[in-house]
Structures are given as C-alpha cells and as structure tokens.
A and B are shown apart, each in its own frame.
Chain A
Amino acid sequence: MTSIRHEAYRLPNFCNFGVWLRILLGANGLAVMAVVAGNHSFSELTSELAALAAYFEWPLIASLSLLCLLSKHIERLSYAYGVTVVVISAVATTAGVYVLLLPFDRLSATPYRLMPTLFWAVACAAVLLFYFNARARLQSPALAEARLMALTSRIRPHFLFNALNAVLGVIRSDPRRAEAALEELADLFRVLMRENRELVPLSDEIALARQYLNLERLRLGERLQVKWDIESCPPDALVPPLMLQPLLENAVYHGIEPGEQAGEISIHFARRGDQLLIELANPYVVGASSHVGSHMALANLGERLMLFYDLEARLETEANDGRFVVRIVTPYRHGVGQ
C-alpha cells in the first residue's frame, strides 16, 4: 500500500489502527443507540449496557482480528466478494461468541436471542461498510492526489532566490563550486516538481537532504553544522517523499539564519519495532522572526502524513533547553518484497 490510488473503492485495511478505531467507535455508537431506543425503564439501562458489552465487544474484536489475519487474501478479492467475507465473518464470530457465552449469562434481564443478535451484527457490518465506501468516494484518489500535489509543491521562494544569489556570488571566485551548486539545485527541483505520491526509500530522502544542506552551506558557511545519526535505521525503510527537506528548511530558516554563532541541526532516525522514529532538532533562537511560516510547513507535513498513513503516524514538536524538536513516528514499511 504505497500509493494513495490503491485505497479508494476497496474495503478498508483491517489491520490499520485508524480503521479499527473508527469501526469500534461506530459500532459501539450504533449499539448504544439501539439499546437506548429499545429500553423500557431507565433503571435497567446500566445492566442492559453491561450485557451488551459482553455480547457485543467480543464478537466485534474477534471479527476484526479474523479480518486482519485474512486481509492479504481479502485484498485480492473483488469488492462484492470482499463484502461477503466481511458479513460471513461478522455472523460467524457473533454466533461463535454467543454459543460460548450463553452458559455463563447471568447479566442481562432479557436474555438476547440468537437471531436478532445476528441480525444486528449484519446490519452493523452493512452500515460500517457503507460508511467506508462513502468515505473512500469522498476522498477519491483524484482529490487526495490533488491535495498531495498542492501540499508538496511549496518551497520557500526565500531559499530559491538566496541560493541563486549565493551561486552568483561565487561564480567568479570559485566557478567549480558554482557549477556544483547549480547541479544540486537542478536535482533538488527535479524532485520538488515530480509527482510525489509514492513512498520513497529513506536513503533517497537522505541524499536529497544532503544536497539541500550543501546548497545552504554555500551561503551560510560554517554557521551551519549538521549531525546525522542514522546508523540504527534500516536504509530500505519507506517514507513519504519530501519529508526531510521542508523540515530542514524550517530548521535553517528559524534556527540557523537568525543565530549569531554556528548552530547545529541534528537528525536522528531509529526503528522501534514496527515503527520508524524521526527526530530533528535545531537551535531555538529567542526573539527571532515569527514562526508563522514554520507552523505552515509543519501543518502541511502533518496533513501529508495523514494522507499517507491515516491515524498511524504522529507529528509532535517541543521547544526546550534552547532546542526546537520535531518528532515524527510512522509505521515502518520497507521497500523490498512489497
């Protein structure tokens, strides 16, 4: 699932945390409404809700787990067959849990009967499938791609014009350096202008970031210090394209340029189980120019992470001890074999 294109007009990914969250919330909402609607006296409401939890959560979680296990196979089916599998799994797990729980049932005032329970399971599955279908239509691939394109094509004009000015500044004294800088600028803009909707290997992102930093070093000289800490990270990890460069641009603009002394940007990658951790820190210059631009770049990246990973990615920032830190956690995906 490296492309947005694959996500639409399909069943949701049943292994996705965001999908689970939505299903659990949605199904519970429906169930509580049903109980409240069918409730005869207010005093019985608590016990009915408790009974519901027993009859409801277990089949729901069992069914979701089953679908997650089967997800590789379900992905290959057509939408209609997929829906059938989902409904069958809902019915099967509900019936299974019903049979298992029946001997222990002392909670409910009016014991649930099998057929209505199954009816509710099917209805619930249908409503949720309808929701995911509608959501996929709303976030059609064309729309999602348009949003992605709009979000990635923003580079600061500040950087472009300063870089060109720096190249012009060294062109007479150091023509080779000027040549190299123009080549780097060309590479950078080639990436900035392509369609950035596929996840890319982390090594590509790092190479691009180094080119960008070389260009900035041309004009900032020794003021720009960079520390990479990427040993503990698998280079085949896949990340959203142009994730690092805007963060570095931010760090240079707000952390290095306003500083009188040399400043250090540190970049740290690590894999933690099935998660990828990215941490970027720069000096925090008190009283420097407003951080409006920085908020925009971060909000922009946050939105792109949402488009790529839904609720599975996080972006946090904090400022302490004179450092501004951006921390990103994404699911670890890797290139080969997918």
Chain B
Amino acid sequence: MSVAPLRVLIVDDEAPARSRLKNLLADINADLANVVVAEAADGVEALECIHRLEGGVDVALVDIRMPRLDGIGLAQHLAAMPGAAAVIFTTAYDQYAVRAFELSAIDYLLKPVRAQRLLAALGKLPQGVADAALLQRLAPEGRKHLHSTERGRVLLIPMAEILFLRAELKYVTVHTLVREYLVEESLTHLEQEFAELFIRIHRSCMVARSAIAGCERESDSDGEAHWALLLHGVAEKLPVSRRQWPLIKALLKEE
C-alpha cells in the first residue's frame, strides 16, 4: 500500500537555501514520502518547470524575494492556472509578508526551516493555490505580468505594454507594440482581473484604456455600418460591437 510520494518544487534564488530544503526533505522522507521534482532559481524558472513536468507538482516551496518574478508574483500566476501547485511561502525575514500570512491564516516557513516544522506544513497542505485574500493583501496592485510559454521558455509580458487582447479558439493573443504572444487564460477571467486597465469592445476583444486614440465609422462588405476603435501604435482598426458601443462612447466623451 504505497501512496504516491508528494511531488515538491523548490524555488529559491540562493543555492545553499535550496540544498538546505533538499536535505530536510530527505530527512523527513520516512515520515512523509516526498520527491523533489525540480529546483528553480526564480519565479520564471518555476513556471517553466511546472509547464514542463509531466506528472505535475503538488507543492511549491517558494521564497518571497527573488529576481525577475518574485514569490508573490509566482503565486499570482499559479492562482490563474487551474490545478497548479499549492504554494508554501518561505522567508528569512519579511515582516510585511508575515503579517499578511497571519491575517489570512496561511501557513508559511521561516528560514532557517526546521525539519519538524516542514513536516507539519507539508502534512496539512493548503487546498489548491494561495487564496485571493492573501494575494490581495500582499500585492494590492495585482499581477504585473501575464506569461506566455514558447518552446519550453516562459516569457513575461508586462501589463503596461499590452495594447489589446483577443480571444482565439483555445488561447488569448496578447498584442504589444513589438509582437504578439499566446496566453493560456480566458478573456473573461482577464477582464474580471484587470477591469481597471482594459475595457471589452467586442465579445472577443479587450483593449487597454490608455491605448485608445479615437474611433471611426466603418462599413462592412454587406453595407452595414459599425464603429471601429483606433489604438496608439496599432495599424489595425478594431471593430466595436453594437452592444459595447454605448460604453465606449461614454469613455471617449470623458476624455
């Protein structure tokens, strides 16, 4: 009667801190079967591991302060990925984050971590990903990037660079001045999460409020006229649906 071992991902930018956690996980293996499936040095590498690993990751031990994408950013990305790993934060000293954990009744590990403490935390794993209330406390301004996977590499797309997003069959395409990316998220979720930054202009299209330059009357091939939106830096004219037009008109008037 063997239970499948817990699949653990270690995320920390400091090599000795990672090896310390690996030692401890080996020490408690008799009490709680576990396997370290990967180690990552920052949030982006962690996302790459999670996308790459066939068997998935049960729990990620995540340091808070890291380059590129920090622990809180990583948790935000995981929260937007259904079925992704549970997160246990580790920190050496971060009063601000610790207060947020206490307020949200979230378990966390203080470095240096003790074996017994690690065992207890893994024993009562949080269900699913870090909860929304905690992320709201830790980073009230929300996610700073979306991420896109290309040939095993994870690319971060800063929210501020996004001009518009369009729903395709299974993906959302994200358009910036330079290029476009594929993102595995639903437009509806993104609309809810970033209502302050973007506005829906069509069932399948959402534009950055700051990018709107103006509008134009256009006529379809069948002779029916509709409005189209012009964005700064975008040659394409984006059609506005009849349903969304009153909203867009009001927004244009405000400016």
Residue positions of A touching B, CB distance < 8 A: 156-158, 160-162, 164-170, 172-173, 218-221, 257-260, 289
Contacts and interface: CB of A to CB of B under 8 A. Distances in A.
A161 B93 CA distance: 7
A169 B65 contact: no
Contacts of B13: 257
Given A161-B111, A164-B112, A258 B67 contact: yes
B65 A173 contact: no
A219 B23 contact: no
Interface stretch (B14-22, B76-84, B215-223, B229-237): B14-22
Contacts of A168: 16, 20, 112
Interface string B99-114: 0000000000011110
A110 B122 CA distance: 93
B58 interface: no
Interface string B151-194: 00000000000000000000000000000000000000000000
B218 to A, nearest CB: 39
B92 A169 contact: no
B249 interface: no
5 contacts: A161-B111, A166-B17, A168-B112, A169-B14, A169-B18
Contacts of A169: 14-20, 23
A168 B20 CA distance: 6
Given A161-B112, A259-B67, A260-B68, A166 B93 contact: no
A75 to B, nearest CB: 47
Contacts of B113: 165
A49 B42 CA distance: 69
Contacts, number: 62
Contacts of B15: 169, 219, 221
A173 B22 CA distance: 12
A264 to B, nearest CB: 15
Interface in B191-206: none
Contact of A162 (B14, B18, B42, B68): B14
A219 B93 contact: no
Nearest to B15: A221
Contacts of A156: 93
Contacts of A260: 42, 67-68
A160 B110 CA distance: 13
A172 to B, nearest CB: 6
B42 to A, nearest CB: 7
Contacts of B20: 165, 168-169
Q: Which 9 A-B pairs have the closest CB atoms?
A: A169-B16, A169-B20, A161-B92, A166-B16, A165-B111, A260-B67, A219-B14, A162-B92, A165-B112
A79 B19 CA distance: 65
Interface in B61-105: 65, 67-68, 92-94
B154 to A, nearest CB: 13
Contacts of B42: 260
Interface in B1-38: 13-20, 23
Contacts of A220: 14
A165 B16 contact: yes
A296 to B, nearest CB: 14
A48 B113 CA distance: 77
Contacts of A221: 15
